[in-house]
């Protein structure tokens, strides 16, 4: 009798975990964004908001045009 109860509880636990495995966690519903570092200020921010410059085959990211312009004027 106890063995049957134990097997039933174990089956229910495994089945419950398997059902919830593919579901997104509501607490983590925010979209994860890749961060990049501003080449001038060294501050990290979302890549989707970046002002980009390709220089010497390398892509540089900036938070705004002012940072880009200041960096380019200092690093000619």
**Claim: this prediction has a pTM higher than 0.75:** no
Contact 64, 52 (CB under 8 A): no
**In the chain, domain spans:** 33-76
Q: What is the mean pLDDT of residues 29-52?
A: 92
CB 44 within 8 A of CB 36: yes
Span of 32-36, 49-53, 69-73 with lowest mean pLDDT: 32-36
Contact 67, 38 (CB under 8 A): yes
What residues are paired with 16 via a beta bridge? none
What sign does the CA torsion over 50, 72, 56, 41 have? Answer: negative
């Amino acid at each position: 009798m106890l063995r049957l109860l134990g097997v039933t509880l174990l089956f229910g636990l495994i089945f419950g975990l398997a059902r919830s495995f593919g579901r997104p966690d509501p607490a983590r519903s925010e979209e994860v964004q890749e961060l990049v570092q501003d080449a001038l200020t060294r501050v990290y921010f979302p890549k989707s908001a970046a002002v980009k410059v390709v220089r010497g085959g390398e892509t540089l990211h900036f938070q705004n045009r002012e940072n880009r312009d200041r960096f380019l004027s200092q690093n000619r």
